[in-house]
């Protein structure tokens, strides 16, 4: 085992200290990766577009997930002062930086989890 791997293994012996655990707690789950992926593919989406694109998610859950992603500065929300309300969601630069990693996870999943 390489020296760097030994350091990592020693440093993160407890799961709660592991960066992967933090990632999964904050960005993992059933819906957030899907929301992020859709915004990577579509650049900008309105709430109803996201709702229609994600089978099985309630509007309440979608709203909660989007709010949490906003708090993490992964998603940007832009509301327009019109009637009916118009709200658009897009990824921030921080959110866009997930593209390479999510693409790798998708590729791995396609190869190994059929």
Is 43 a member of any domain? yes
Nearest-angstrom CA–CA distance, 69 and 1: 37
Vertex 39 angle, CA 78 and 26, to 5°: 90
Is 91 a member of any domain? yes
Is 24 a member of any domain? no
Nearest-angstrom CA–CA distance, 7 and 93: 30
Is 9 a member of any domain? no
What's residue 42's pLDDT?
Answer: 97
Strand order in the sheet with 86-91: 44-46, 86-91, 75-80
What's residue 20's pLDDT?
Answer: 82
- Whole domain around residue 96: which residue ranges? 31-112
In tens digits, what is the pLDDT along the chain, a chain of 114 residues?
577 776 666 666 666 667 888 888 888 889 999 999 999 999 999 999 999 999 999 999 999 999 999 999 999 999 999 998 899 999 999 999 999 999 999 999 999 997
* CATH number, residue 94: 1.10.10.10
Nearest-angstrom CA–CA distance, 103 and 57: 22
Is 4 a member of any domain? no
pTM higher than 0.95, yes or no? no
Structurally, the chain folds into a number of domains equal to: 1
Nearest-angstrom CA–CA distance, 31 and 26: 11
Nearest-angstrom CA–CA distance, 70 and 88: 12
Is 49 a member of any domain? yes
Backbone angles phi and psi of 75, in degrees to 5? -120, 140
| Pair 91, 36: CB distance under 8 Å | yes
Is 37 a member of any domain? yes
Is 17 a member of any domain? no
């Amino acid at each position: 085992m390489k020296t760097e791997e030994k350091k990592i293994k020693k440093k993160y012996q407890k799961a709660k200290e592991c960066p992967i655990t933090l990632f999964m707690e904050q960005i993992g789950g059933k819906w957030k990766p899907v929301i992020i992926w859709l915004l990577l593919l579509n650049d900008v989406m309105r709430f109803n577009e996201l709702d229609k694109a994600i089978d099985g998610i309630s509007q309440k859950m979608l709203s909660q997930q989007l709010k949490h992603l906003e708090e993490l500065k992964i998603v940007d929300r832009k509301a327009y002062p019109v009637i009916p309300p118009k709200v658009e969601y897009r990824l921030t630069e921080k959110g866009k930086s997930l593209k390479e990693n999510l693409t790798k996870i998708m590729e791995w999943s396609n190869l190994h989890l059929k």
